[in-house]
């Protein structure tokens, strides 16, 4: 798999692996005994960029990722994130960007990951109560101390990104982006390109919606957080699936799947974009990796974009509480 730059100093596979669903959010996860062979297959496919976070579990995802990648540590780039408050029972209580939290969580993440340095350390959600300069200043201290290599933000707006970048270079901005979620196009992508920041789309397959495999809320396991997402509600899903079916028609003409052509579309939006689709099944991991080799012409890209006009998508990407944490 070809490589892309992450900021100025890191080089990663064109497609990374989002690890959230292995322990969190989407029902039954990946068992620890399966993880070694799963991550080994990812490495065999050329994937070297792995994304986790404190909140995934919480805490258990970092342990799983760290243990599975320990013997490959010098070959991989590991990203993790901080930014939430938790109860003693592990319940998420809200965002937290205080400098003391930045540094405490970094130490805890290093232990869970079983490493002495975090390659890319993101603020998971911007804390409106803490100036971004203070948060990034504490993150920069971790770089000076050799505990973090590069800094990132997640779901930050253009103004916040600019302010953060004046304190310390931001290597990556992570936000949701796909054929169905085009929010970053007007402002975020141009600012990232102006400042030399790599854009890392999470959910480039719209949490599985773009695969076409989920045709009804009944296809989701009990406890799957997508059951609470507006786009997966029955009244919205049929409208959204009509768009997915258009993508599938274009994909079929090229002999690939809807998921693969949707991922290829994201990759073709620029060499400064590194999507991180999630996977828990080897077949999906392999299919996602193969998308890096799909060639799309300008006409293909135009047809795909026009097949999914943003105004035709039904429902917000998060529920009310989730959208409230997005930095607007």
121 in active site: no
Helix, strand, coil share (%) of the chain residues, nearest 5: 45, 15, 40
d(CA 155, CA 210) in angstroms, rounded, equals 21
Contact 46, 77 (CB under 8 A): no
The residue length of the chain stands at 328
Q: 3-state class of 237 per DSSP?
A: helix
For 266-323, the three-class secondary structure string (H helix, E strand, C coil) is HHCCCCCECCCCECCCHHHHHHHHHHHHCCCCHHHHHHHHHHCCHHHCCCCCCCHHHH
- Note whether 202 and 17 are within 8 A (CB): no
Local structure of residue 14 (DSSP, 8 states) = S
As a whole number of angstroms, the distance between CA 154 and CA 164 comes to: 12
Catalytic, out of 24, 26, 56, 318: 56
- C-alpha 95/C-alpha 251 separation (Å) is 40
Contact in structure between 116 and 149 (CB atoms under 8 Å): no
Indicate which residues carry an active-site annotation: 56
């Amino acid at each position: 798999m070809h490589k892309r730059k992450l900021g100025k100093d890191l080089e990663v596979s064109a497609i990374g692996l989002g690890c959230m669903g292995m322990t969190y959010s989407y029902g039954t996860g990946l068992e620890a005994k399966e993880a070694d062979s799963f991550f080994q297959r990812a490495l065999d496919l050329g994937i070297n960029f792995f994304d986790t976070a404190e909140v995934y579990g919480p805490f258990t995802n970092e342990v799983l990722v760290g243990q599975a990648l320990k013997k490959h540590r010098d070959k991989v780039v590991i990203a993790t994130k901080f930014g939430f408050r938790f109860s003693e029972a592990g319940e998420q209580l809200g965002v937290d960007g205080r400098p003391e939290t930045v540094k405490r969580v970094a130490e805890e993440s290093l232990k869970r990951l079983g490493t002495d340095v975090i390659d890319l350390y993101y603020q998971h959600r911007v804390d409106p109560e803490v100036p971004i300069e203070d948060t990034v200043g504490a993150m920069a201290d971790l770089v000076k101390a050799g505990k973090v290599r590069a800094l990132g933000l997640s779901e930050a707006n253009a103004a916040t990104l600019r302010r953060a970048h004046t304190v310390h270079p931001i290597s990556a901005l992570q936000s949701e982006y796909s054929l169905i979620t085009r929010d970053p196009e007007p402002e975020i992508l141009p600012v990232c390109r102006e400042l030399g920041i790599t854009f890392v789309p999470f959910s480039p397959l719209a949490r599985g919606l773009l695969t076409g495999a989920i045709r009804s809320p009944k296809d989701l396991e009990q406890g799957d957080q997508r059951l609470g997402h507006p786009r997966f509600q029955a009244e919205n899903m049929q409208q959204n699936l009509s768009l997915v079916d258009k993508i599938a028609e274009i994909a079929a003409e090229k002999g690939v799947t809807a998921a693969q052509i949707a991922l290829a579309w994201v990759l073709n939006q620029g060499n400064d974009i590194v999507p991180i689709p999630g996977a828990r099944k080897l077949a999906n991991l392999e299919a996602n990796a193969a998308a890096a080799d799909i060639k799309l012409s300008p006409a293909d890209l135009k047809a795909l974009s026009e097949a999914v006009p943003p105004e035709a998508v039904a429902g917000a990407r998060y529920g009310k509480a989730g959208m409230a944490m997005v930095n607007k």
